[in-house]
């Protein structure tokens, strides 16, 4: 199997195929974009005096972009991904999960910051509602 | 005399329940849903007054005046062509995703009272959603036509109602106000019938009744 080395699109530094180094960005310039180049064309950029970006345009090869994991930005949890039906932000302030309420009568209440819940077991243990109009 | 009438009333109701249990008359139960202060209770009162002479509940400019679902049974609405529909109207608490007691303080309410109101309103929303799951055959979704119809809660609620395959009529209310733009609501929900009314003045409610007969009959 042919190997396809990577080249940093910014400075042209070469990396072996499958190198995990590039996940932290280019060791020389800190570039985040890498191009797969054919083994035989590894020096094409130098020989033809082109930038890696120009070669990327010519070869139509996909440019690999290393995406940094955002660690500081806290992702907003979508309403429907939440486990609770009601969140008590503070006494008298509530956030209601309508999608959840539309599906079930089960009540899970979260208190304050994410991660603290009150589960109403009674609401989950209730029998299925009896058929309407059925009287004994 | 009053006592006699009351007794007679109770007896009449019992008798009609008794008859209903035999004939199982299919009644359509219509829920009036929408965000707080859209005019749900005003419309419910108008429908009840127009067809039965009674009222459903008190109205206020402070949001979440209605905190329990209120039902008015056996409303018979008749259309221009003589067709009639018997329905129960359920006026529900305003549906919203956030309830904060600070909002009530602006209306001059005391803190304790505002917190209680907020708690009751939260229970009210849960109750409204419960009704929607089990007991409602059709929905009148009320919107204030002076406000942006693309609020997240409206999109979410219409989605929920659609997923339950319930017939829905969207009411663009408050057309008596100068900055009302019911056309905006029409373009927001082109998949549903939209009727522009003033629940307060009663403008165009006949149109709504005709649409109700058509969609809920």
Task: Report chain B residues whose CB lies below 8 A from the CB of A97.
Answer: 97
Task: Report chain A residues whose CB lies below 8 A from the CB of B97.
Answer: 79, 95-98
Residue B177 has pLDDT above 70, yes or no: yes
Does residue B17 lie within any of the structural domains?
no
Those residues whose C-beta lies under 8 Å from the C-beta of residue B182, and which sit 6 or more positions away, are B145, B172, B175, B194, B196
- The per-residue pLDDT for A134 is 42
Does residue B162 lie within any of the structural domains?
yes
Question: Measured between CA atoms, how close is A127 to chain B, in angstroms?
Answer: 14
- Count of CB contacts below 8 A, A vs B? 63
User: From the centroid of its chain, how far is CA B52?
Assistant: 16
Give me the interface pTM, i.e. the ipTM: 0.72
Q: Which of B24, B100, B126 sits opposite A101 (nearest CB)?
A: B126
Q: Is A82 on the interface with B (CB under 8 A)?
A: no
Contact by Cβ (8 Å): B138, B216 = yes
- For the segment B58-103, what is each residue's pLDDT rounded down to a tens digit? 898 889 999 988 999 999 998 888 888 899 999 999 999 999 999 9
Question: Measured between CA atoms, how close is A103 to chain B, in angstroms?
Answer: 7
Q: Is A94 on the interface with B (CB under 8 A)?
A: yes
Q: Is A70 on the interface with B (CB under 8 A)?
A: no
Residue A56 has pLDDT above 90, yes or no: no
Q: Do B97 and A95 touch (CB under 8 A)?
A: yes
- The per-residue pLDDT for B45 is 94
Q: What total number of domains does chain B contain?
A: 1
Contact by Cβ (8 Å): A64, A9 = no
**Residue B116 CB neighbour total at 10 angstroms:** 16
Does residue B19 lie within any of the structural domains?
no
Does residue B44 lie within any of the structural domains?
yes
Q: Encoding tokens for residue A49?
A: 């005096």
Question: Which of B166, B160, B174, B173 lies closest to B139, judged by CA?
Answer: B166
Task: Say whether A72 sits in a helix, a strand or coil.
Answer: coil
Those residues whose C-beta lies under 8 Å from the C-beta of residue B98, and which sit 6 or more positions away, are A93, A94, A95, A96
Q: Is the pTM of this model over 0.80?
A: no
Band of the pLDDT at A83, cuts 50, 70, 90? confident
Domain containing residue B96: CATH number: 3.40.50.300
Does residue B11 lie within any of the structural domains?
no
C-alpha distance from residue B22 to each of A133, B76, B149 (Å): 11, 20, 44
The H or E element spanning position B213 is helix B205-216
- Rounded to 10 degrees, the C-alpha dihedral A12/A17/A20/A26 comes to 0
Range of the domain at B78: 27-216
- The per-residue pLDDT for A136 is 39
- For the segment B12-28, what is each residue's pLDDT rounded down to a tens digit? 666 666 655 555 456 78
Q: Do A102 and B129 touch (CB under 8 A)?
A: yes
Rounded to an integer, what distance in angstroms lies between the CA atom of residue B80 and that of residue B206? 9
Q: Which of A85, A92, A96 sits opposite B115 (nearest CB)?
A: A92
Q: Which of B119, B122, B133 sits opposite A96 (nearest CB)?
A: B122
Q: What are phi and psi of B180, to 5 degrees?
A: -75, 130
């Amino acid at each position: 199997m042919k190997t396809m080395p990577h080249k940093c699109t910014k400075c042209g530094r070469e990396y072996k195929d499958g190198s995990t180094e590039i996940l932290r960005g280019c060791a020389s310039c800190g570039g985040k974009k890498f191009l797969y180049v054919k083994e035989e064309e590894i020096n094409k950029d130098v020989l033809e005096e082109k930038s890696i970006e120009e070669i990327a345009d010519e070869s139509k090869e996909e440019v690999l972009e290393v995406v940094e994991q955002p660690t500081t930005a806290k992702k907003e949890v979508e309403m429907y991904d939440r486990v609770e039906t009601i969140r008590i932000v503070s006494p008298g302030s509530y956030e209601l999960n309508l999608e959840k309420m539309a599906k079930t009568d089960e009540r899970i209440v979260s208190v304050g910051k994410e991660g603290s819940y009150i589960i109403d077991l009674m609401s989950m243990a209730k029998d299925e509602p009896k058929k309407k109009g059925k009287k004994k | 005399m009053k006592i006699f009438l009351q007794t007679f009333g109770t007896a009449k109701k019992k008798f009609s329940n008794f008859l209903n249990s035999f004939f199982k008359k299919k009644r359509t139960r219509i829920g009036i849903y929408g965000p707080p202060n859209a005019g749900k209770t005003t419309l419910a009162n108008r429908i009840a007054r127009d067809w039965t002479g009674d009222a459903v509940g008190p109205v206020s400019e402070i949001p979440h005046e209605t905190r329990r679902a209120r039902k008015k049974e056996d409303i018979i609405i008749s259309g221009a062509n003589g067709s009639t529909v018997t329905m129960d109207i359920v006026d529900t608490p305003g549906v919203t995703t956030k309830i904060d007691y600070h909002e009530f303080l602006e209306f001059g309410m005391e803190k304790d009272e505002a917190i209680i109101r907020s708690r009751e309103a939260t229970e009210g929303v849960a109750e409204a959603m419960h009704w929607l799951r089990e007991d409602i055959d059709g929905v009148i979704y009320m919107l204030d036509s002076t406000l942006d119809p693309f609020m997240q809660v409206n999109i979410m609620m219409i989605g929920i109602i659609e997923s339950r395959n319930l017939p829905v009529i969207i009411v663009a209310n408050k057309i008596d106000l100068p900055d009302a733009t019911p056309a905006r609501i029409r373009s927001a929900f082109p998949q549903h019938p939209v009727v522009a009314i003033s629940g307060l003045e009663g403008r165009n409610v006949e149109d709504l009744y005709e649409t109700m007969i058509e969609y809920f009959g």
